[in-house]
Amino acid sequence: MDLLNTDDAAGYLHLNPKRIQALARSGRLPGRRVGRKWLFDRRDLDRMLGSEGESERGGLDISARNQLRGTVASLTLDGIMAEVRLR
């Protein structure tokens, strides 16, 4: 069993630690409370990620901004639209 604390789970899921705690408290993220700390089994998180985006089946709904990987190379604004180029 590979257990992650809140900060490790936040890094693994690319979310803020406060968001991780809120999701765990609401039951949307599988975790266990041990004393004042939350612990998360990496296998449970991997299983949850397998159903990501399917919130009607209980998966975690993560915004698109958290799914971008890379470094922003350029940003072009045109009214309300933006084009982001990553490297």
Beta strands in the chain (DSSP E): 3-5, 32-34, 37-41, 72-78, 81-86
pTM above 0.75, yes or no: no
Exposure string over 18-28, b if 16+ CB within 10 A, otherwise e: eebbebbeeee
Residue type, 59: G
Domain count, the chain: 1
Partners of 33 in the beta sheet? 38
What does the pLDDT look like over 22-43, one tens digit per residue? 999 999 999 999 999 999 999 9
d(CA 45, CA 9): 8
What does the pLDDT look like over 3-29, one tens digit per residue? 999 999 999 998 999 999 999 999 999
Instruction: Kindly tell me if the per-residue pLDDT of 60 is higher than 90.
Output: no
Domain of residue 34: give its range.
3-86
Q: Is 43 exposed, middle or buried (0-12, 13-18, 19+ CB in 10 A)?
A: exposed
